[in-house]
A = this chain, B = another copy of it.
Amino acid sequence: MENLISMRNLGVDKINSLIELAENIESGKVKSDMTGKVMGALFFEPSTRTQLSFETAMKRLGGEVITMSGTKGSSLEKGETLSDTVKIINQYSDIIVMRHPLEGAAKYVSECVDIPVVNAGDGANQHPTQSMLDLYSIHKTQKSLDNLKVCLLGDLRYGRTVHSLSFALGAFNPEFYFVSPEILNMPSYILDELDDLGIKYTQTDSLDNIVDDLDILYVTRIQKERFTDPEDYEKVKSSYVITPEILSNVKDNFKILHPLPRVDEISVEVDKLKCAYYFQQAKNGVYMRQAIITKLMEKCA
């Protein structure tokens, strides 16, 4: 592994190996020491949450972080190319973590520099460390990634996270339930891909009769702005709010994930239930990012 640009480059072996490493870092069995190493965190598109998660990961490993957030006042504004900008950060740091509004930017940068690059989101395209922390959270709670019943709920049309996750889980024989209002259905190119892989899925607009069988419910936010007629939004929104009532008969191993931030798609009363796992999921992100940094820096040691 030289970079982490997309889930599409990662096979089952690498996914399993990153999950194992994250587990060992979390338990303290593996001590990863980044003393004297510098991470260049380039957030051409600001994202406080993701930035703090990566910073925490690196700093808890003993490493240091230099950060560029936004492009205001930067040399890019003076007409410098992205390639030149990252080539200079290359001189200062040992690994680059970057978020960029344009698809393909992370891949392009990885070809400009000679240190590892981690894609922390490139437009609507990929956010592989989010997918890896999702997989880590699923593995921790289910003891396996294989043969799970997983429901993805909410905005399945525009959600980078759910596209990436459905693809990533595809290698582990899942049974999917895609629950969304019709105008936010999973795009057909994703369904075609799942068909090609022979993966079972059910598309529906309601959680009824599904929840009790699930291992994982992955909730995403439905944005009002996606609806041309606000009344359509008002009609559907309550059907996609998770409350304690609809969770009364869930399985013992059942967990709810959410990439956060949430607005009101999960009622706060759910937070107290043992199936509420979204805050722990955020913590898992730190361990998984530590594993990814560690794996990518091995080559450099």
A residues near B (Cβ < 8 Å) are 36, 38, 40, 46-49, 52-53, 55-56, 59-60, 62, 64, 66, 68, 73-75, 78-81, 83-85, 87-93, 260-263, 268, 279-280, 282-283, 286
Given A79-B261, A80-B263, A261-B80, are A60 and B49 neighbors across the interface (CB < 8 Å)? no
Q: Interface centre among A53, A68, A92, by most B CB within 10 Å?
A: A92
| Contact A52 B79, beta carbon cutoff 8 Å | no
Interface centre among A36, A48, A73, A93 (most CB of B within 10 A): A48
Is B88 a contact partner of A260 (Cβ separation < 8 A)?
yes
CB contacts (< 8 Å) of A85 on chain B: these are: 261
Which B residues touch A62, using CB under 8 A? 36
Q: Tell me whether A75 and B260 are in contact in the complex, defined as CB-CB below 8 angstroms, given that A48-B68, A66-B56 are known contacts.
A: yes
Residue of B whose beta carbon sits closest to that of A52: B66
Pairs A-B, 5 closest by C-beta atoms: A80-B261, A91-B283, A75-B261, A59-B64, A79-B263
Contact A262 B84 (CB under 8 A): yes
How far does the Cβ of A179 sit from chain B's closest Cβ, in whole Å?
A: 22
A–B Cβ pairs within 8 angstroms, 10 of them? A40-B52, A48-B68, A52-B92, A53-B92, A55-B66, A56-B66, A60-B64, A78-B261, A85-B261, A92-B286
Q: Is the pair A49, B261 in contact by a Cβ cutoff of 8 Å?
A: no
Contacts of A279 in B (CB 8 A): 87-88, 90-91
Given contacts A46-B73, A80-B263, A261-B75, contact A56 B88 (CB under 8 A): no
